[in-house]
Amino acid sequence: MAEATVTVGDLVAWIHRFSEVIAEHAEELTTLDSAIGDADHGTNMRRGCRAAVEALEATEPTDVSGFGRAIAMKLISAVGGTSGPLYGSFFLALGTAGGATAELDDAGTVAALRAAVDAVRSRGKAEPGDKTMLDALLPAVEAMESCLDEGGSLADALAAGTTAAEDGMHATTPMLARKGRASYLGERSIGHQDPGATSSWLLVRSAAQTLTA
């Protein structure tokens, strides 16, 4: 079976899809953030995604690294908050790992996603179980790697990653927050789903819907 190739056009479609889905879920994200944060995650993400889409339209990147750079800068400046720089790091690392190439094969795609998730981890200094976006992203990329190792296609890997991200998102509810604003609440952070883990699940699900379409 021929390998799927992920082109820069597919990556751009991913961000368009993510932006749509974030707009659809913005209220829900803000409601989640109102319970354990400052009620701005939905508006932050909607603003940042819109700016990222505009940046892609303005710069028309031709390689993966240009794609990552274009979005990262916008997410850092336009999302703001804690999550903006973290999502910015995600795309900057994805672009750096992907490099000056117009397309990625299956392994290259998952390797770029792994680099992106590792960048979120090192930038935010969160560990699994701290009740952050990492609790959706890390299981997602681990599931993708296992799936490819077992001979699955990229589409299978992205589907497995989406399920793992969703499970990871739900698993944040009973966690005690140890990073970000939610950590100020201590025990009172328990019993609420993390907003960043929720937007990260949407990011992974958007990838599954676009990268191998």
Is the distance from CB of 132 to CB of 179 less than 8 angstroms? yes
In three-state secondary structure terms, 196 is: helix
What's the gap between Cα 20 and its chain centre? 14
- For residues 129 and 194, give the distance between their C-alpha atoms in angstroms, rounded to a whole number: 11
Which string of x and - marks every residue 30-49 that binds Mg ion (by CB under 5 A)?
Answer: ---x---xx-xx--------
Least distance in angstroms from the C-beta of 33 to ligand ADP: 5
CA distance 154 to 159: 8
Tell me whether residue 88 or residue 180 sits nearer to ligand ADP (CB atom): 180
Q: For residue 7, which phi and psi values (nearest 5 degrees)?
A: -95, 170
* Closer residue to Mg ion in complex, CB, 41/69: 41
189 binds, among ligand ADP, Mg ion, none (CB under 5 to 8 A by kind): none
Q: Which does 72 bind (CB under 5 to 8 A by kind): Mg ion, ligand ADP, none?
A: none
Question: Residue 104 — φ and ψ, nearest 5°?
Answer: -120, 145
Site for ligand ADP in 138-157 (CB under 6 A): none
The answer to whether residue 181 forms part of the interface with ligand ADP (CB under 6 A) is yes
- The answer to whether residue 98 forms part of the interface with Mg ion (CB under 5 A) is no
Which residues, other chains included, contact 191 with Cβ-Cβ below 8 Å and sequence gap of 6+? Answer: 173, 174
Report the C-alpha gap between 162 and 158 in whole angstroms: 6
Q: Is 52 in the site for ligand ADP (CB under 6 A)?
A: no
Residues 17-46 that bind ligand ADP (CB under 6 A): 33, 37-38, 40-41, 44
Q: Are 95 and 68 in contact (CB under 8 A)?
A: yes
Q: Which of 113, 116, 171, 197 binds ligand ADP (CB under 6 A)?
A: 197
Residue nearest to ligand ADP (CB): 196
Give the footprint of Mg ion on residues 113-132 (CB under 5 A): none
Site of interaction with Mg ion (CB under 5 A): 33, 37-38, 40-41
